[in-house]
Amino acid sequence: MWQLMAFLLFITATLLCGILKGMESIEGNCNDVIRLPCRATDLTNKYRYSMWYKIITDKKRTAIIKHKSGDITHYNNYNNSASLGEKETLELQRINLNHSGVYVCYLAADIGGQNFESFIGLNFSECMYSSTFQPPTVTDVFCPAVSEFSVSWALLGFFLIGLTKIILCIITVGVCDRVIFRRILRKTGSKWSRDKKGNKVEMEKMRFTRS
């Protein structure tokens, strides 16, 4: 079971890396003002609120700023460095190497509607760091071990998992059928045989009497 869970986590990481490698990325310099567009607004203009996050790991996001009904809420000490522009564009003031990473613009739909989100990366081209140190890129941070994993292998893995589930279901149904059939024989006292075609045929029926 743990092998299956590990494989599913590996597939999730691979798909996330595929998204990150194909997403838009912006280059920035230290102390610049960076504007990160919310591409999700290109998909819809009807939503209850917008929310910007920064991805820390594949399972953890840090909230930055929220816009709902004209009210702006800041999170995690972004009060003086984050604001929103036109079409929910995220504006970051006085950026530094700590701002490098992947950002998510999330649009929350009304109840029963579809939520939308878009990803965008922030890398640094110039900053005050040692010449021997280079800041990691977005894909270096989130995709260190699965960069060579192909989509065809991922699809093959899903196919094998589905095939395994089908086989297990068939075996389970067969076992249950035999158990139920034996219980019926015990209750009715019937003896069964098979004809030339392999069909079950009742030969005789015995009734048990209590002494």
State the pLDDT confidence band at 175, using cuts at 50, 70 and 90: confident
Rounded percentage of the chain residues whose pLDDT exceeds 70? 60
What pLDDT, on the 0 to 100 scale, is given for residue 59? Answer: 81
Name the residue with higher pLDDT: 205 or 164. Answer: 164
Rounded mean pLDDT, 120-136 = 63
Mean pLDDT, rounded, of the chain:
74
3-class state of residue 198 by DSSP:
coil
DSSP code for 132:
T
The distance between the two most distant Cα atoms of the chain, rounded to a whole number of Å, is 98
- What residue ranges do the domains of the chain occupy? 23-144, 155-205
Rounded mean pLDDT, 118-122 = 93
Residue 172 has pLDDT above 50, yes or no: yes
Q: Determine the Cα angle at 110 with ends 108 and 112, to 5°.
A: 110
Residue 116 has pLDDT above 90, yes or no: yes
Rounded mean pLDDT, 132-150 = 48
Rounded mean pLDDT, 104-124 = 92
Rounded percentage of the chain residues whose pLDDT exceeds 90? 33
Poorest-pLDDT segment among 60-64, 96-100, 109-113, 151-155: 151-155
Burial class (CB in 10 A: 0-12, 13-18, 19+), 127: middle
Q: Answer for the pair 88, 94: CB distance below 8 angstroms, yes or no.
A: no
Burial 46-70 (b: 16+ CB within 10 A, else e): ebeebbbbbbeeeeebeebbbeeee
Poorest-pLDDT segment among 20-24, 30-34, 52-56: 20-24
Q: What is the DSSP string of 7-45?
A: HHHHHHHHHHHHHHHHSEEEEEETT--EEE--GGGGT-S
Predicted model pTM: 0.55
CATH class of the structural domain 23-144: mainly beta
| Distance, C-alpha 197 to centroid of its chain | 50
23 closest CA partner among 55, 63, 59, 64: 55
What pLDDT, on the 0 to 100 scale, is given for residue 35? Answer: 94
